[in-house]
Amino acid sequence: MAALGAWRLLRPGRRWFSETVPGAPSPPGSPLYPPVVASITAKSKAGKLRRQQRFIERVHAAATVEEKLRLYGKLQRPKYMVYPQTFALNADRWYRSFTRTVLVPGMPPRAAAAKPPAAAAGATPEACRAPEPGAEAPAAAEAPAAAKTPEPAAGEAPYVDIGELRSLACDALLQESFYQKKKRPFLYRDQDHTPGPFLTQLVSTLAASLSGRNPLLAASSLDLNPEVNYYWHHGEEVVVHGHRKGRVDPVRFQIDDNPHLQIRVPKQLPEVVPLESDLGDVPVIDHKPSKLPLFKKQYENKVFIGSKVADPCCYGHTQFHLLPDKLKRERFIRERLEDQIEVVYRSNGIASLFAWTAAQAMYQGFWSEADVTRPFVSQAVVTDGKYFAFFCYQLNTLALSAETIKNNPRKNICWGTDSKPLYDVVEDGHVKGFNDEVLLQLVRFLLNRPKEL
Amino acid sequence: YPLFQRGGPQLRIFRPNFFMLAVRPGVPQPEDTVQFRVSMEMTKVDIRNYLERIYNVPVAAVRTRIQYGANNKRNHRNQRVKKPDYKVAYVQLGQGQTFQFPNLFPEKEQDAETRPFDDFRDKYMEKEKQKQEGDPRRGGVPDWFGL
């Protein structure tokens, strides 16, 4: 009897225990249930991954660059403050590992093939038309000029008058150090007294006189004592103390830099080498950054190039850094740390340029999850008033956080020179031992421009 | 120390009463960094001069901190017992020198006599332990428990 009753229940057509509208087929191909994904609020690794994915999508979907930057730096946690001008020993090696930079000594080779020196005189009208900046003519003319001692060949006079520029530089130097009557500098304020104003004067006069040759300079913007900030993640560590003890956190860094002068331009400088090129190795340091010594603080995560996002001059051209009194050459020589002199220049160049180029890339909408599609190039000159060191930086990758760096073969590249003196000594209204090469390199830097111009 | 004023004599210490103890770092340090426990009265300048003049060690940089000794332990009279404070100095060596704290207790290699003796001793201890434990089929229940 029970079996008969059960059989009657199971007869088809008697679906009284479930409500289905007969004759309404489910849409073909779509699943009946929502997708099974990890919970957003649960305290689990899958939940954490899902929250991170939601954050990444939120940043990708942000409408404006300002909104992206606001979301990127929204969460404040203790982070390492990276100072470009630091007294820490071997800081440039540590900074290269933080920023995944390869250091190539010397300046990058110019793009176009070197013209034969004999043709330099006749080639000047072509050089004017050629897209390659004035580096060609001085570089090609320097080879015969080096062979014969007199001043640079007359063939390049109509293009770049080195004598005129030299006189401009000497005028600025003498004005600041000899003609102008200044009181004694205050304690530890030597750099603000003479080399600072000299650098400002030199750069502004050179930029003004060369803007005729380089239309990019004519449209550029010269900042005095600007601020450059960048915030990024690199690597992972376990939190040691506090209520978050034991959790795995990304290592956060922030650079807050104040270059002495900065030139920003509306067009990007051309790339020096292709995006995926590999010119060397990045040093790998297993120790925690606090052993450098580097210290942690929690404050605003700022990304800034010197002007806000809406400014048309959003790409960088050249930065000029002045080394402070604490990092004078004489101090290093007195403490028998001669090898650290160059380290100071290199660490300043690498850190400042990385922060500037990365901030420029963020202003264009790229970030660590959306890596750059074209390289960002900028230049810098680090000086202490007398010695000049030149740096050129190419940013190939922004993806430095722990997840994105795993499959990232790209490295950032920095070309840098050693520091060379611009002059030997200033005596009695004359500049002794003026070095033309340094001035020429400076001029080349200022004349650098994209190929279309 | 007597406070230095301009024009006064330079403080010179002959035969200092300080001593510096080189210790193994608790956390891994870079290769050029040596960790010392020094007297609380020593300054960075003192440490640098001490190493350079007495031991001819080139010093590039010195950083110091004071480690507070905890005051939480209690003795049999419920009085708090303080562990002493000490100053730790991290010295970075100059001229590219490196230092690795040596292993003070290396494994002694065993010769022909001690190895069989050690094996015999281990086997004997194992047998003793087996006797103590009792029948494994009883599942840890003592043998006085039963009918």
Residue B56 lies in a domain: yes
Q: Does A326 touch chain B (CB under 8 A)?
A: no
State the Cα–Cα distance between residues A119 and A125, nearest whole angstrom: 11
Q: Verify whether the Cβ–Cβ distance B29 to A293 is below 8 Å.
A: no
Residue B35 lies in a domain: yes
Q: Verify whether the Cβ–Cβ distance A336 to B29 is below 8 Å.
A: no
Facing residue for B30 by CB, picked from A287, A335, A337: A287
Task: Tell me which chain B residues have a C-beta less than 8 angstroms from the C-beta of A340.
Answer: 60
Q: Verify whether the Cβ–Cβ distance A89 to B27 is below 8 Å.
A: no
Confidence of residue A154 (pLDDT cuts 50, 70, 90): very low
Can you give the residue range of the structural domain that contains A228?
A: 76-106+161-447
Residue A352 lies in a domain: yes
Residue range A400-433, pLDDT digits in tens: 999 999 999 999 999 999 999 999 988 888 899 9
Confidence of residue A222 (pLDDT cuts 50, 70, 90): very high
Residue B48 lies in a domain: yes
Facing residue for A293 by CB, picked from B28, B63, B96: B63
A370 within 8 A of A60, measured Cβ to Cβ: yes
Residue A379 lies in a domain: yes
State the Cα–Cα distance between residues A29 and A26, nearest whole angstrom: 9
Tell which residue, A294, A316, A302, A308, has the closest CA to residue A230. A302
Q: Verify whether the Cβ–Cβ distance A336 to B27 is below 8 Å.
A: no
The CATH number covering residue B84 comes to 3.30.70.330
Residue B47 lies in a domain: yes
DSSP at A119: G
Over range A112-122, report the average pLDDT.
Answer: 30
Query: A324 vs A53, A85, A192, A297, B6, CA distance in Å?
Result: 44, 8, 9, 23, 26
DSSP at B37: E
Task: Tell me which chain A residues have a C-beta less than 8 angstroms from the C-beta of B32.
Answer: 89
* pTM assigned to the model: 0.82
More confident residue, A8 or B37: B37
Can you give the residue range of the structural domain that contains B48?
A: 20-93
Tell which residue, A362, A256, A366, has the closest CA to residue A314. A362
Over range A223-243, report the average pLDDT.
Answer: 94
Confidence of residue A261 (pLDDT cuts 50, 70, 90): very high
Task: Tell me which chain A residues have a C-beta less than 8 angstroms from the C-beta of B30.
Answer: 285, 287, 291
Kindly report the nearest CA distance between residue A443 and chain B, in angstroms.
37
Over range A263-276, report the average pLDDT.
Answer: 92
Kindly report the nearest CA distance between residue B141 and chain A, in angstroms.
41
Q: What is the pLDDT of residue A21?
A: 56
Task: Tell me which chain A residues have a C-beta less than 8 angstroms from the C-beta of B33.
Answer: 291
Tell which residue, A355, A428, A416, A409, has the closest CA to residue A391. A416
Tokens encoding A294: 């580097």
How many domains is chain B built from? 1
Which helix or strand (DSSP H or E) is residue B59 part of?
strand B59-67
Q: What is the pLDDT of residue A245?
A: 94
A235 within 8 A of A402, measured Cβ to Cβ: yes
Q: What is the pLDDT of residue A25?
A: 55
Kindly report the nearest CA distance between residue A287 and chain B, in angstroms.
7
Facing residue for A336 by CB, picked from B63, B94, B96: B94
Q: What is the pLDDT of residue B15?
A: 87
User: Residue A127: CA atoms inside 13 Å, Cβ hemisphere, count?
Assistant: 27
Q: What is the pLDDT of residue A156?
A: 40
Q: Verify whether the Cβ–Cβ distance A336 to B58 is below 8 Å.
A: yes
How many domains is chain A built from? 1
Over range A41-45, report the average pLDDT.
Answer: 92
Residue A136 lies in a domain: no
More confident residue, A240 or A122: A240
Residue B109 lies in a domain: no
Q: Does A243 touch chain B (CB under 8 A)?
A: no
DSSP at A121: H
- Search chain A and give the residue with CA nearest B63: A293
Using the predicted structure, report yes or no on whether residue A281 has a pLDDT greater than 80: yes
Q: What is the pLDDT of residue B109?
A: 82
Q: Does A89 touch chain B (CB under 8 A)?
A: yes
In chain B, which ranges are continuous DSSP H helix? 44-49, 55, 114-133
Tokens encoding A138: 């001085």
Q: What is the pLDDT of residue A135?
A: 37
Q: Does A334 touch chain B (CB under 8 A)?
A: no
Mutate to test the interface with A, among B6, B27, B63, B100 (most CBs of A within 10 A): B27
CA quadruple A213, A217, A219, A222: dihedral sign:
negative
Q: What is the pLDDT of residue A325?
A: 92
Confidence of residue A452 (pLDDT cuts 50, 70, 90): confident
Q: Does A288 touch chain B (CB under 8 A)?
A: yes
Residue range B58-102, pLDDT digits in tens: 999 999 999 999 999 999 999 999 999 999 999 999 999 999 999
Least reliable range by pLDDT among A84-98, A118-132, A177-191: A118-132
Q: Verify whether the Cβ–Cβ distance A288 to B92 is below 8 Å.
A: no
